[in-house]
Structure 1
Amino acid sequence: MNTLIRTVVTAAALAAVTTACTASTGGGEDPAPRRTSLGAVRLVAYDGCDDLLTGLREHAAENVGPYGFGHAMPMVMEDSVRSEAKARTTQTPEHSTTNVHEAGVDEPDLVKTDGDRLITVANGTLRVIDTATRKITASLRLTEGEGGPGVPADLLVSGDRALVLMRGGDIMYKRIAGPVGDTRYVLVDLAGEPKVLSTIKPQGSYVDARLVGDTVRLVTRSEPEITFPEPRPDAQQAELIAANRAAVKRAPAESWLPTIEITDAAGKVTKSRVACERVSHPADYTGTSMLTVHTIDLAGGVTAAGTDPISLAADGDIVYGTGQSLYVASNPRWWFPIVRPLPVEPPPTPAPRSSGAAPADEPTPSEPAVDVPYPTRTPPPEETEVHRFDITKPGAPAYVASGKVPGRLLNQYSLSEHDGHLRLATTLTAADGADSSSTVHVLKATTLEKVGEVGGLGKGERIYSVRFIGPIGYCVTFRQVDPLYTLDLRDPARPKVTGELKITGYSAYLHPGADGRLIGIGQEASEKGRTLGTQVSLFDVSDPAAPRRLSQFFQRDSGSGAEWDPHAFLYWPKTGLAVVPLVQAEKSGALVLKIDDREVRRLGMIEHPVKEGEYPYQPGIERSVVIGDSIWTVSHEGVQVNDMESLASQAWIPLR
Structure 2
Amino acid sequence: MATPLRLRTTVTGIAALTSLAAAVGVGYAIGQDSGPTGTPESPRIRLANADLTSPGSCDALLQSYVDRAVEQVGPWGWDGEMRVFAAEGDAAMPLSSSAGVERSMPTTSRTTSDESGTNVQEAGVDEADVVKVAGSLLLRVRDGELLAYDVSGDAPVLLSTTPVPAARSHGWPHDPGGEMLLVDGRAVVLGTTDTGTTITTVDLSDPRSPSIVDTTTVTGHASAVRLTGDVVRVVVQTELPQLDFSTPDGTLGELRARLHNRALVRGTTLADWLPTVDGQPVVDCGDVAVPADEDLALGTTTVLALDPASPTTRTATAVATDSDTSYFSTDRFYLAAGAPAWWGPWSECIDCGVGLPEKPRGTTPIFAFALDGMEASYVASGEVAGTIADRWSMDAVGGSLRVAVGPSAATGTANSVITLREDGSSLVEEGRVDDLGVGETIQSVRWFDDLAIVVTFRQTDPLYAVDLTDPAAPVLLGELEIPGYSDYLHPLGEHRLIGLGQDATADGLVQGAQAALFDVTDLANPRQIDVVRYDPGTWAGASSDPRQFTWLPDQRTALAVVDGSSAKGMTGWVSILSLADGRMTNRMVEVEHGEAVYDVRLVPLASGKVALVTGSDVSFLAL
Return 5+ residue gaps in structure 2 as ranges.
1-34, 40-46, 86-94, 97-113, 344-357
TM-score by length of 2: 0.76
Matched, 1:512 2:488: no
> 1:151-188: CA deviations, max 9, x gaps?
711111023111111134xxxxxxxxxxx445211111
The percent identity for this pair of structures is: 32
Residue 500 of structure 1 deviates from its aligned partner by 1.0
Mapping for residues 185-584 of structure 1, pairs under 5 Å = 185-192=199-206, 193-225=209-241, 227=243, 229-233=245-249, 235=252, 244-261=261-278, 273-285=282-294, 286=296, 288-298=298-308, 300-303=309-312, 306-333=313-340, 380-391=360-371, 393-429=372-408, 436-445=413-422, 447-557=426-536, 558-584=538-564
Distance 1:73 1:195, change over 3 A: closer
**Residues 61 and 245, structure 1, Cα contact 8 Å, conserved in 2:** yes
> 1:169-228: CA deviations, max 9, x gaps?
xxxxxxxxxxx4452111111111111111121111111111011111111011354736
Residue 640 of structure 1 deviates from its aligned partner by 1.9
Matched, 1:590 2:574: yes
**Residues 52 and 292, structure 2, Cα contact 8 Å, conserved in 1:** no
SS in 1 for 2:314: coil
Residue 251 of structure 1 deviates from its aligned partner by 3.4
AA in 1 matched with 2:204:
L
Distance 1:140 1:44, change over 3 A: farther
**Residues 484 and 501, structure 1, Cα contact 8 Å, conserved in 2:** yes
Cα distance in structure 2, aligned partners of 1:478 and 1:226: 38
Name the residue aligned to 1:369. Answer: none
TM-score by length of 1: 0.73
Pick aligned residue for 1:140 from 157, 162, 170: 162
Name the residue aligned to 1:600. Answer: 584
Residue 379 of structure 1 deviates from its aligned partner by 6.4
**Residues 332 and 382, structure 1, Cα contact 8 Å, conserved in 2:** no
SS in 1 for 2:522: coil
Cα distance in structure 2, aligned partners of 1:559 and 1:331: 29
Cα distance in structure 2, aligned partners of 1:319 and 1:595: 35
Name the residue aligned to 2:31. Answer: none
Distance 1:430 1:620, change over 3 A: closer
Distance 1:621 1:259, change over 3 A: closer
Cα distance in structure 2, aligned partners of 1:145 and 1:438: 39
Name the residue aligned to 1:111. Answer: 131
AA in 2 matched with 1:113:
V
Name the residue aligned to 2:609. Answer: 630
Cα distance in structure 2, aligned partners of 1:70 and 1:223: 14
Pick aligned residue for 2:64 from 55, 58, 61: 55
Give the number of aligned pairs. 525
SS in 2 for 1:448: strand
Cα distance in structure 1, aligned partners of 2:402 and 2:167: 46
Structure showing greater Rg: 1
**Residues 563 and 597, structure 2, Cα contact 8 Å, conserved in 1:** no
Distance 1:142 1:228, change over 3 A: closer
Name the residue aligned to 2:177. Answer: 152
Question: 540-549 or 437-446: which moved more?
Answer: 437-446
Residue 260 of structure 1 deviates from its aligned partner by 1.9
Cα distance in structure 1, aligned partners of 2:150 and 2:311: 28
Distance 1:137 1:72, change over 3 A: closer
SS in 1 for 2:621: strand
Cα distance in structure 2, aligned partners of 1:619 and 1:278: 41
SS in 1 for 2:426: coil
Mapping for residues 7-22 of structure 1, pairs under 5 Å = 20-21=36-37
Distance 1:135 1:407, change over 3 A: same
Residue 430 of structure 1 deviates from its aligned partner by 5.2
AA in 2 matched with 1:598:
G
Return 5+ residue gaps in structure 1 as ranges.
1-18, 24-37, 79-93, 169-179, 262-269, 337-377, 648-656
Residue 301 of structure 1 deviates from its aligned partner by 2.2
SS in 2 for 1:402: strand
Larger proportion of strand? 2
> 1:270-327: CA deviations, max 9, x gaps?
95542211211232245720111111122x2224xx3222221112112321110122
Cα distance in structure 2, aligned partners of 1:97 and 1:74: 37
